[in-house]
Amino acid sequence: MKELRTSAAPAPVGPYSQAVEHAGWIFLSGQIPLDPATGRLVPGGIEEQARRVLDNLRAVLEASGASLADVVRTTIYLVDLAVFPRVNEIYAEYFTASPRPARSTVQVAALPLGSQIEIDAIARSS
């Protein structure tokens, strides 16, 4: 197993890796909308938070030589499912190639640091 790490995405806020690569697969830890430069949540609403999360995931993938096109599965965690249609619009901007990844979306009671969204992913390694 190989740890993947980049300064282009936020450093982990706990005892975990940004991602690990094993047997041709990349397992990306959940990303919340932290600005990698400041380590703080991005200002704004769910749209800004969703974009930052997806940018963070893309940065970890790119550091491993992969891209969003290599993602086969995601899970979206939302504090409020009422924002799902807005998140779905942003998500569709990032995952444009067909077939799009398989996906689950769940509502949770809370997320780290007061985030409204978290997304994790599994991708093929390049």
Parse the chain into domains and list their residue ranges. 2-124
Domain 2-124 matching CATH 3.30.9.80: the answer reads no
Residue 20 and residue 5: Cα distance in Å, rounded?
9
Beta strands 19-22 and 25-31: pairing type? antiparallel
**What is the per-residue pLDDT for 14?**
87
Distance CA(94)–CA(89), nearest Å, equals 9
pLDDT of residue 35: 97
Q: What is the pLDDT along the chain (126 residues), one digit of tens a residue?
A: 999 999 999 999 889 999 999 999 999 999 999 999 999 999 999 999 999 999 999 999 999 999 999 999 999 999 999 999 999 999 999 999 899 999 999 999 999 999 999 999 999 997
Quote the DSSP letter at residue 49.
H
In whole angstroms, give the CA distance from residue 109 to residue 94. 26
Pairing of strands 102-107, 117-124: unpaired
